[in-house]
Amino acid sequence: MARRLEQKVVLVTGGASGIGRAAALACAREGARVVVADMAVAGGEETVQMIQAAGGMALFVQADVSRGREVERLVQQGVETYGRLDCAVNNAGIQGDLAQTAECSEENWDRIIATNLTGVWLCMKYEIPSLLQQGGGAIVNIASNFGLVGSEGMPAYTASKHGVVGLTKTAALEYAKAGIRVNAVCPGPTQTPLVAHVLSQQPQLANQLVEAITARVPVGRIGKPEEVAEAVVWLCSDAASFVTGITLAVDGGFIAQ
């Protein structure tokens, strides 16, 4: 059976852990050569080693997606190494500190927006020219269920992810005729370091928080990074050739409520 991303080159940001790592591994399993980007060197290199151990090809590039020059260098290095870029998974993001709107600090706001929203825009800014040179391709932006609904105590995160959804739709319209498909995946509660960070902020309530989060998910459990990665692979593949501008919730029914 043919692999879905055979001979394609896929760039994955935030690939050192969580959904980014799962997406990188899944893309490699489907035949892609993967450029793994992250600020965390050890985790990024470990992802590359995992891909190579399974017989795949991968490259790690350290990059801060909130800095344009680093993103430009990241894309250039990927293209120089593999000769092309076919798909991009713009996943890098941070949770930031929990605080209600009036208590959220300017520093916290600026840091979250710079990574989660400006970072996705910068990635697309430098990815799209390479995709145009190839005559098309696919971009998958990782948003969140909180890019579709609100969340108390997370004003900057929620705003950033709503912004990613809007940016995705705009780019999809702009480049549809050029053969570039742009979609967003909106994960619900998922077993990732971001969720672990939220729980670590209130360790004495960790078990209760897990139970409360799980209770809000209709399927009755938290998702796995690999489940989100499957949606990413499909959107990158030719099987989704008529799909652009969508927000695909992978959330166990969370936003259907």
Which whole-number Å values give the CA distances from 21 to 27, 116, 193, 199, in the listed order? 10, 17, 11, 21
Number of Cβ within 10 Å of residue 39's Cβ equals: 17
Which whole-number Å values give the CA distances from 15 to 20, 25, 76, 125, 170, in the listed order? 4, 9, 18, 19, 25
Rounded to whole angstroms, the Cα distance separating 6 from 8 reads 6
Region for 177 from its dihedrals, namely left if φ exceeds 0, alpha if ψ lies in -120 to 50, beta otherwise:
alpha
User: At a CB cut-off of 8 Å and minimum separation 6, what does 49 contact?
Assistant: none
Which residue among the candidates 82, 126, 157, 175 is catalytic per the annotation? 157
Rounded to whole angstroms, the Cα distance separating 20 from 225 reads 8
Spatial CA neighbour of 130 closest among 35, 197, 55, 49: 35
175 is catalytic: no
Spatial CA neighbour of 13 closest among 102, 81, 115: 115
Burial 86-114 (b: 16+ CB within 10 A, else e): bbbbbbbbbbbbbeeeeebeeebbebbbb
Rounded to whole angstroms, the Cα distance separating 42 from 63 reads 13
List, by residue number, the catalytic residues: 157
